[in-house]
Amino acid sequence: MTMMTPSPLEQQQEDEEMLVPHQELSTADAAQPMEVVAQTEPTNTAESQAPEDPQTSRFTWTIENFTRVSGKKHYSDVFVVGGFKWRVLIFPKGNNVDHLSMYLDVADSGNLPYGWSRYAQFSLAIVNQIHQKYTARKDTQHQFNARESDWGFTSFMPLSELYDPSRGYLVNDTVVVEAEVAVRKMIDYWTYDSKKETGYVGLKNQGATCYMNSLLQTLYHIPYFRKAVYHMPTTENDMPSGSIPLALQSLFYKLQYSDNSVATKELTKSFGWDTYDSFMQHDVQELNRVLCEKLEDKMKGTVVEGTIEQLFEGHHINYIECINVDYKSNRKESFYDLQLDVKGCRDVYASFDKYVEVERLEGDNKYQAEQHGLQDARKGVLFLDFPPVLQLQLKRFEYDYMRDTMVKINDRYEFPLQLDLDKDDGKYLTPDADRSIRNLYTLHSVLVHSGGVHGGHYYAFIRPTLSDQWYKFDDERVTKEDTKKALEEQYGGEEELPQVNPGFNNTPFKFTKYSNAYMLVYIRESDKEKIMCNVDEKDIAEHLRIRLKKEQEEKEHKKKEKAEAHLYTIIKVARDEDLKEQIGKNIYFDLVDHEKVRNFRIQKQLPFNSFKEEVAKEYGIPVQSQRFWLWAKRQNHTYRPNRPLAPHEEAQSVGQLREVSNKAHNAELKLFLEVELGLDLRPIRPPEKSKEDILLFFKLYNPEKEELRFVGRLFVKALGKPSDILTKLNEMAGFSPNEEIELYEEIKFEPNVMCEHIDKKLSFRSSQLEDGDIISFQKPSIPGGDTQVRYKDVPSFLEYVHNRQVVHFRCLEKPKEEEFCLELSKLHTYDDVVERVARQLGLDDPSKVRLTSHNCYSQQPKPQPIRYRGVEHLLDMLVHYNQTSDILYYEVLDIPLPELQCLKTLKVAFHHATKDEHQAFEE
């Protein structure tokens, strides 16, 4: 996605609720937890500030003998604010930095109930004991909870400044710390029911999607837009994850009729976002434009064609007017939203004044007018018309050239409840604009960003019916709010909290508001009735109602199952048929993948014999013909059928048997069903098993076909020898009775394959074979035979399977498109891999192939390619941290890679002799 102007939020790579800056940026002004822990779940800001003033207190901590403080951490005494216990935590020598580290800490966090949280605005200061005005003070705000019970500044001030006696912070080995804390009241997040309290439900946060949630809630609460989305043609064969219209219809339907918060995963999948993209901070304005463009395209040729333009599209005229000659140039442009300056503007009207401000083109900046040459001119913008729904993007983020970084503008910026764009005789409009349309707007929603430029949280204040009642949509939670909270408290700027002891001439506690509006949505008064229309079930396609009703029923069913889960257990039953179906296809090692066998959900109180009747109904195997074996996990991490169930065990309940067999509270019960067939292929009673009988499983390997398959199982005598059963094995394999065969025991496959040759003259017991063991056999390989095979025996074949890797290759210029795939070995060398790729591409010189590894988290190529012979094996190319990818990117070079790597980068700079211009090129 591209934009005409760079988006400040494209830089954001962190989870939005953590105000922790990138390491390469300055941390001086960013509040952060004492220890930064990566969050895998979104943290919901739980503050819902009461309209009354917060409870505020100032605490002074005098630390004597400061340089003698022992230990890495040092806590203050406990003080109470808002009925809560607090303390200050400092690291006198820094928390792994060369700065003093200082935090506000919840003193009794270890004793608080599960799910506790509290919200506070606070400042921390090191008092300058020589010059009060140089006191070092920083302020922030935070939602404290069990995971983040302390918050503050890791780099509060340089240790060199603190310990310098001339600076005034350390005087007579004494340091004075001040903390001012304002605690606001909260709603109990854990018991709060949004639908019950407000009639509306929220949207679940996928990790960093609160910016999207605030926008979706805003669009949903424009009823005309919602009705148009419902009327977009979709069918019952569409899948929400592949159709933006259907995903949006589904989302809006659930917001309208669900009792609980709604997930957005289907919608983000329809955008083409994978999991990683959902955890990326995207730009709201960009998302709004892309979403509207896609919907606009999908609406073409339907009954709702043109809806997006009708709602959101306005037009302005870019003009250039010569001063001294009669020449004027006009260009009409459309807009769906307007970007207004915040910096240097006190309110929305000042931003519009700046938007239409006339620029003079004169001197070296004269305008080249057709047939008139260079002329003095006036350049500006005026509006031809405004849309019914006016979206204003406030430019809260800008690039600071002095600091070479993005910064957030937290200046105070006011916006009215009623916006009159016809003021001052329509000074924002062109002379030929339609003056019969009254451009008086009422505020519908305020989208808010709370935090800094490199992280933060988003939520929205919305008037769904344009009444006096505002609602705050904060991810999953919706709360009622007053007008002051929705407007004045989102202006930004500084907030001055009440003084603790006014009579003592204390400095007021001023707190910079990091929560402020960044997007406003106004609705034109004359279009209000049309836009704020009724939307009911008849506006929703029947197939959509049926689909979503079915989804709701399935959800309720799963919810019921979950509530009753403690009454049931899962029994997984593997049979000979499963082994035949899976071995050589889905698996090669072991006997079966238990995730792909038949599951039975059985009540724990049910007698096991009753379960056998269920099996009889399922498979048509009489109860008396069933014998079940328990699987056991061995020390080498393989699973094998261990022993058959005893009669007294089958008399127990399913729950009792599960507990005995697994010795774990919630483990599943895994069983192997042994069934013997008579001459007529009907199930018969299994033979009695003595202590001398061993149950072995057999696989057959064909070197020519490179095929391994399950051929059956046998009971053998412990003191018997493999030579005793060769005739039977030949029969199972379809060989002649006297065929010579070699036997191997499959022992384990992780981390390395262990498959050992079996001496046919030794007894099974001497070979340490026991119940559940696996023997693979084959015809012996013939050295120098006519048929050439790649893997002559079972061990070499299993070694190949263990290291086999299908790699999907993509052209680096088209990183989303798969070009071809190759079956390789993880042990292949760098040269082996590029040679195979060159052969696939028809290249004579493999050294012209350059490979780049895949980043499993970003789903993109890594920034640096693989150097020539820079890795030993294919596995090294595929491993990314603790994950293994199956994707590699390739590019074909004009010269061999070793030669390219020897070239040096040369930067050439040009300076224009007459103009103060610079240009630079790299070769």
| Active site positions, annotated | 210, 457
In sequence order, the β-bridge partners of residue 919 are 910
Residue 255 has which token pair? 């917001």
The CA–CA distances, whole Å, from 619 to 168, 570, 616, 822 equal: 86, 18, 5, 41
Contact in structure between 590 and 579 (CB atoms under 8 Å)? no
Dist. CA 96–CA 270, nearest whole Å: 44
What is the DSSP secondary-structure string of 447-514? EEEEEETTEEEEEEEE-TTSSS-EEEEETTEEEEE-HHHHTGGGS-SEEEEPPSSGGGTPPPEEEE--
- Other C-beta atoms closer than 10 Å to the C-beta of 71 total 9
- Other C-beta atoms closer than 10 Å to the C-beta of 312 total 23
Dist. CA 758–CA 582, nearest whole Å: 25
Amino acid at 754: M
Q: Which helix (H) or strand (E) holds 55?
A: strand 55-63
3-state SS string over 853-879?
CEECCCCEECCCCCCCCCCCEHHHHHE
Question: 772: buried, middle or exposed (CB in 10 Å: 19+, 13-18, 0-12)?
Answer: buried
Contact in structure between 105 and 86 (CB atoms under 8 Å)? yes
Pairing type for strands 440-452 and 455-462 reads: antiparallel
The CA–CA distances, whole Å, from 96 to 27, 100, 366 equal: 13, 10, 57
Dist. CA 434–CA 401, nearest whole Å: 42
CB-based contacts of 437: which residues, under 8 Å, 6+ apart?
A: 385, 526
Is 748 in a helix, a strand, or coil? strand
Dist. CA 693–CA 725, nearest whole Å: 14
Angle at 213 between CA 251 and CA 147, to 5 degrees: 120
Backbone CA torsion sign across 289, 295, 301, 303: negative
* DSSP symbol at 583: B
Pairing type for strands 669-674 and 568-574 reads: parallel
Ranges of H-type helices in 663-793: 726-733
Q: Which residue has the tokens 């039953």?
A: 573
Q: Which helix (H) or strand (E) holds 907?
A: strand 907-911
Contact in structure between 676 and 685 (CB atoms under 8 Å)? yes
Residues shown for the chain = 923
Q: Which residue has the tokens 């029947």?
A: 542
Is 431 in a helix, a strand, or coil? coil
Q: Which helix (H) or strand (E) holds 381?
A: strand 377-385
Selection from 833, 824, 837, 842 nearest residue 869 by Cα: 833
Dist. CA 105–CA 151, nearest whole Å: 7
Selection from 452, 422, 415, 449 nearest residue 437 by Cα: 422
Q: Which helix (H) or strand (E) holds 320?
A: strand 314-322
Dist. CA 458–CA 294, nearest whole Å: 24
Dist. CA 788–CA 798, nearest whole Å: 18
